[in-house]
Amino acid sequence: MNRDNAPQLQVFRLGMAHPGDLSELAALLDDGTLRADQVQAVIGKTEGNGGVNDFTRGYFTQSLMHLLGQRLGRDPLLLQHELPCILSGGTEGVLSPHYTVFARTDAAPGAPAGPALAMGRAFSPPMVATVVGRWAQVRAVAKAVRAAMADALIDDPADVRFVQVKGPCVTAARAAAALATGQSVASADPNRSMALSRAAGAFGVALALGEIDDNPALEAALLSRFDLWCGRASVSSGVEVQANEVVLLGHSRHW
């Protein structure tokens, strides 16, 4: 069976000389290999310390949104809420800084039908400080993962192979603001908050894929029960995001 104009995923792994270097992506856009409106998501590794104060992730994200915003005639700040840019900082002689661009194009007429590699993306609503690292974040991530499955045209969780999540954390300022109004946070320590956010992200993927139950009592298991885990989840967290960003890969008969 053949299908015309089915979606097709193209993946480009590009290098960077510094966290603001988008020259390789700009070259692909300039020579017509890729159009800016085809870019669906970016996952990358920047040259930074990987901690709460790692500015390189936000620097790259800002640079990416300005580049694509110029090409699309879009406000970079609005684009940032539509296009996941999921970055992890810190290479320290082990990895080369790089980023992977996922582009959704139309397959050539007559291309064979799937199943083929498919991707989907989604955002949760912004997370207030009081829910980061708690079951509410788990549920928010699960809902975003299900939306990303729908975006990827994947019906069966068994066809999902990899889910990358970027979650927010609670900074000292956000914790102080919550506490000043009589509210509590899972942790006022930004580093532990990042870890709790990562755990909540992993549980959210597991919940969406049917690997754990929607049981708020499991909130106590975050960072404590290591027999509960998700082999298809990769999760990062940082101060540069306020919502949970999801990029999902799997196989779909529609691609």
Residues recognised as catalytic = 166, 236
C-alpha–C-alpha distance, residues 99 and 42, integer Å: 7
